[in-house]
A = this chain, B = another copy of it.
């Protein structure tokens, strides 16, 4: 994913290395989600939906079926079926929206939170262990870099 323009200076090599690391990270994420998908006996989309719900919950943001459809890039029809599956498996509940009677709010069940952290928890702790070994300044630089990369790949 990086390296088809010949590097010439040490800086070029450093840039190439970091972009290769970014690519490797993407692959590692794919494989991790693949593994967890297998462990939880879910398909990729349903797991991605669950991840979104966890993230949004931590930010105290409500999630509608429409939000899910946009994030997952599937139709709202597919989203209805997806919610049927997650509801039947006890991972989510459809709650009425307090103000808009057409709308729904999707909330995670305790079982889903438990299952999620059962499967992600060990890796999250391991990631925290990695981050702990860096200084505050280094972490700030890394955070800034990752943030900037996010902005250019998903503007």
Chain A residues near B (Cβ < 8 Å): 1-4, 10-11, 14-15, 17-19, 21-32, 34-35, 37-38, 44, 48, 51-52, 54-55, 58, 71-73, 120, 123-124, 126-132, 134, 136, 138-143, 145-150, 152-154
Q: Is the interface of A mostly helix, strand, loop or mixed?
A: helix
Q: Is the CB of B153 within 8 A of A19?
A: no
Q: Specify which chain B residues have a CB less than 8 angstroms from the CB of A26 in the assembled complex.
A: 29
Choose one: B2, B21, B131; the contact of A19 (CB below 8 Å).
B131
A36 to chain B, nearest CB (A): 10
CB within 8 Å for A136 and B14 given contacts A28-B153, A29-B29, A145-B130? yes
